[in-house]
Amino acid sequence: MLDRKAELHNAYPGYDVLAKWRSPSWNEKTREVIAARLQVPDEPQFLTLDEFEVLTAIADRIVPQPASRSPVPVAGLLDQKLRAGVMDGYRVVGLPGDGEAWRRGLGALNAEARARHDCGFAAVADGDQDDLLRRCEAGELNAPEWAGMPSQIFFKHRLLRDVVLAYYSHPTAWSEVGWGGPASPRGYVRLDFNDRDPWEAAEAMPGREVEARRINRNVR
């Protein structure tokens, strides 16, 4: 996988799903919803500043972003969801409501970091942050701050899910994976293998990055 990584780094060069904003692929409601999302600030309104700092550090490990573009405000998007009180539709036994679970989980991860590294989670080195997250995933964390919430349930059903959904709700992430994006009412015409409508992203096959970039710049 490692040698593939460099090749995959920018799979869809020059593609920006937002270039279709005024196209027949974006209806009025979609523009309204995405415009609001693009305005979400990377600052807390639900969480405290300390909690938000931990969340930002976690998001950097779960969905690392390249330095070459402006980052998706993952923590800000998630904070907004918590503030709006939008829930999933189920709670695994042992997990409190979303906001409470996050407050408790962020506090507990911070406490675990302090106990092991003498500093808060956000100040711990990347590799040690990953180690803490892996222990959380495996259910090995049980500082008193968890207050009965199993760390692996928090990791799978809250932390991982919420961070990943927040990141992939953003047009920047859509462009990164070469998805067509919003598609109403235009939809698609070409459906078969290796079939691409002119308003879809072109993938940069090895040696053909320049061609892909040229095509993607004209996607509307």
Binding-site ranges for other proteins (CB under 8 A):
1, 4-5, 8, 11, 25-30, 32-34, 37, 61-65, 86-93, 97, 130, 133, 137, 156-157, 160-161, 164-165, 167-169, 173-174, 176-196, 200-201, 203
At closest approach, how far in Å is the CB of 23 from other proteins? 12
Q: Which is nearer to other proteins, 50 or 186 (CB)?
A: 186
Instruction: Centre a 10 Å sphere on the Cβ of residue 33 and count the other Cβ atoms it contains.
Output: 12
Residue number, 42 or 197, with CB nearest to other proteins: 197
Cα separation, 118 vs 193, in Å, equals 54
Q: How far is the CB of 44 from other proteins (least distance, A)?
A: 19
For other proteins, which is the closer residue by CB, 50 or 168?
168
Residue with Cβ nearer other proteins (146 or 167): 167
Cis amide leading into 13 (omega within 30): no
Q: Residue 181: is it exposed, middle or buried by C-beta count within 10 angstroms (0-12/13-18/19+)?
A: buried
In angstroms, what is the minimal distance from the CB of 16 to other proteins?
15
Q: How far is the CB of 91 from other proteins (least distance, A)?
A: 5
User: What is the C-alpha to C-alpha distance for residues 2 and 19, in angstroms, rounded to an integer?
Assistant: 32
Short-list 176, 131, 165, 181, CA closest to 18? 181
Closest separation between CB of residue 201 and other proteins, Å? 8
* Phi (first) and psi of residue 42, to 5 degrees: -90, 60
The smaller minimum CB distance to other proteins, of residues 5 and 22, is found at 5
Residues in the chain, total: 220
Asked if 14 and 216 touch (Cβ cutoff 8 Å), the reply is yes
Triad 87, 154, 112: Cα angle to 5°: 135
